[in-house]
Structure 1
Amino acid sequence: MTADHYAALGLAPNASLADIKKAFRQKASFYHPDRNDAPDAAQRFQAVQKAYEVLSDDTARQAYDDNRRRNLLDDPLQTAQEIWQAYAHNILSSSSGAQ
């Protein structure tokens, strides 16, 4: 599955830079391997770091957004499935106390 940087940070694609920074700080603190014993904490921490790296840079974010739009047009069913899976995972994680 392709990484969805917005889903990794729990944000909508129209999030502001301030929202991105705030979400990054919260998620990075929560998933930091020194503070979270979950088996997937390190992997999720790395995903959060990568998401912030891309979304906080205007040029990289524009390229990422362009690629997301292209993928949606090229393979809409696969893209919709990935979006739904990320959404469902975030909902289930939130309801179980993890963020």
Structure 2
Amino acid sequence: MTADHYAALGLAANASLADIKKAFRQKASFYHPDRNDAPDAALQFQAVQKAYEVLSDDTARQAYDDNRRRNLLDDPLQTAQEIWQAYSTRIFSSSSSST
């Protein structure tokens, strides 16, 4: 499964660079292994670092966003409903116009 960098930082996909930086500082401070004794703190910290690395770079973020859209990670149910709606509208409109 692909990591969701926006979720790692607790952000929406339309977050600004300022939002990304702020969320990174907060999450990195919270999950830093020197400050957090939780067993998964180091892994969470690494996920936050990777998310910031990708989302703070315009080129890497664009590539990541393109990949998310391709993989339907944003909202697969909504995407499926839109595809079905477009398909059924086309099918039913073409069958009613041919009668």
Per the alignment, residue 8 of structure 1 pairs with 8
Q: SS where residue 72 of structure 2 aligns?
A: helix
Separation in structure 1 between the aligned mates of residue 49 and residue 30 of structure 2, nearest angstrom: 12
Per the alignment, residue 39 of structure 1 pairs with 39
Q: RCO (CA 8 Å, sep 6+): is it higher in 1 or 2? A: 1
Per the alignment, residue 19 of structure 2 pairs with 19
Query: What are structure 1's unaligned runs of at least 5 residues?
Result: 78-99
One-letter amino acid of the counterpart of residue 29, structure 1: S
The one-character-per-residue Cα deviations of 1:12-41 (angstroms, maximum 9, x if unpaired) are 000000000000000000000000000000
| Alignment map for 1:58-97 (pairs within 5 Å) | 58-72=58-72, 76=76
Query: TM-score, normalised to structure 2's length?
Result: 0.73
Separation in structure 2 between the aligned mates of residue 60 and residue 2 of structure 1, nearest angstrom: 15
One-letter amino acid of the counterpart of residue 32, structure 2: H
Query: What are structure 2's unaligned runs of at least 5 residues?
Result: 78-99
Aligned pairs, number:
75
Separation in structure 2 between the aligned mates of residue 2 and residue 71 of structure 1, nearest angstrom: 9
Query: TM-score, normalised to structure 1's length?
Result: 0.73
One-letter amino acid of the counterpart of residue 6, structure 2: Y
Give the aligned CA root-mean-square deviation in angstroms.
1.3
